[in-house]
Copies of this chain bind each other. A is one copy, B any other.
Amino acid sequence: MTAVNLAKPQDLDRLVALVGDYHRETGIDQDAATRRAALAPLLEGCPHGAAYLVGPGRAPIGYVIVAFGWSVRAGGLVGRIDEIYIRSGVRGRGIGAEVLSTLPRALAGGGVKELSLAAPAGDDRARRLYQRLRFRPLDDQVTMTRTL
């Protein structure tokens, strides 16, 4: 059973390092100061999201960031997996799937009614994995986004 613990202010450096690894691996180009500023509030009680460290507290092997939002149709508070990352050296052992099956219970306990994520289109392996974890694809909608 892999530990999944809410990250606290003293975990910031560890979290920043892991998020940097993820961003480098996926080609997200973000300077270190912006990244740190986007993560720190999540460890300090900001209501819009929470970060969880996966594995041993002092040597985490990954993280999950959940953003909180609202859906009238869903009846209130909802969550979205903003980022999930497992270090490459321990990948392929089902740790990510374990995290994604543990987390919904904890979130439901906190009043979250629905959890969503963005899967890469055309990645059938990821899609099947998420479907096994009871995520249903919303193929009838396309997310559109605008930078403000």
Binding site for B on A (CB under 8 A): 19, 23, 28, 30, 34-35, 37-39, 41-42, 46-49, 65, 67-78, 80, 82-83, 104, 107-108, 112-122, 127, 130-131, 133-148
Contacts and interface: CB of A to CB of B under 8 A. Distances in A.
17 contacts: A23-B73, A35-B72, A46-B70, A48-B48, A49-B70, A65-B70, A65-B72, A68-B69, A69-B80, A116-B144, A119-B141, A121-B141, A127-B142, A134-B146, A136-B144, A137-B142, A141-B143
A69 B48 contact: yes
A100 to B, nearest CB: 9
A38 B146 CA distance: 26
Give the copy number: 2
Given A48-B77, A49-B70, 9 more contacts: A23-B73, A38-B72, A104-B148, A108-B148, A116-B143, A119-B142, A130-B144, A138-B143, A138-B145
A143 B143 contact: yes
In terms of DSSP, what is the predominant structure of the interface of chain A? mixed
The 6 closest A-B pairs by CB, nearest first: A49-B70, A135-B144, A108-B148, A48-B70, A67-B69, A67-B70
